[in-house]
């Protein structure tokens, strides 16, 4: 996980292909276990619980980055994403 975070902060490509799938799996697992909400089958409810910032990362139709070399997720945004996972 540490390597995925480092890579996800470094580049948009690694964020989308390495860190986002891990965050998606974590969010889906927590939503299912703690709230009985399926991330991909109840997107409106999942978005309400996760918040817009987290939802934009983990939604199933999240697009690939236009610029693969762009910076990844800023540390302060990643901290907010982790906070939203902890609140589930």
Which residues does 2 contact at the CB level (< 8 Å), separation at least 6? none
Rounded Cα–Cα distance for residues 9 and 78 (Å): 8
Pull the structure tokens for residue 87. Answer: 């609140």
* Secondary structure letter of residue 34 according to DSSP: I
Q: What is the pTM of this model?
A: 0.92
User: 73: exposed, middle or buried (C-beta count within 10 Å: 0-12, 13-18, 19+)?
Assistant: buried
Pull the structure tokens for residue 32. Answer: 């299912």
Inter-residue contact 23 to 55 (CB < 8 Å): no
Q: Give the pLDDT score at 63.
A: 82
Pull the structure tokens for residue 61. Answer: 């139709």
Rounded Cα–Cα distance for residues 33 and 15 (Å): 25
Q: What is the pLDDT of residues 18-71, one digit of tens each?
A: 999 999 999 999 999 999 999 999 999 999 999 999 999 999 888 888 898 899
């Amino acid at each position: 996980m540490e390597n995925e975070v480092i890579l996800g902060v470094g580049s948009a490509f690694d964020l989308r292909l390495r860190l986002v799938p891990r965050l998606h799996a974590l969010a889906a697992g927590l939503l299912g276990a703690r709230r009985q909400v399926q991330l991909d089958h109840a997107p409106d409810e999942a978005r309400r619980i996760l918040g817009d910032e987290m939802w934009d990362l983990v939604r199933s139709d999240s697009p690939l980055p236009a610029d693969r070399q762009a910076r990844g997720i800023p540390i302060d945004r990643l901290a907010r994403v982790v906070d939203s996972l902890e609140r589930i």
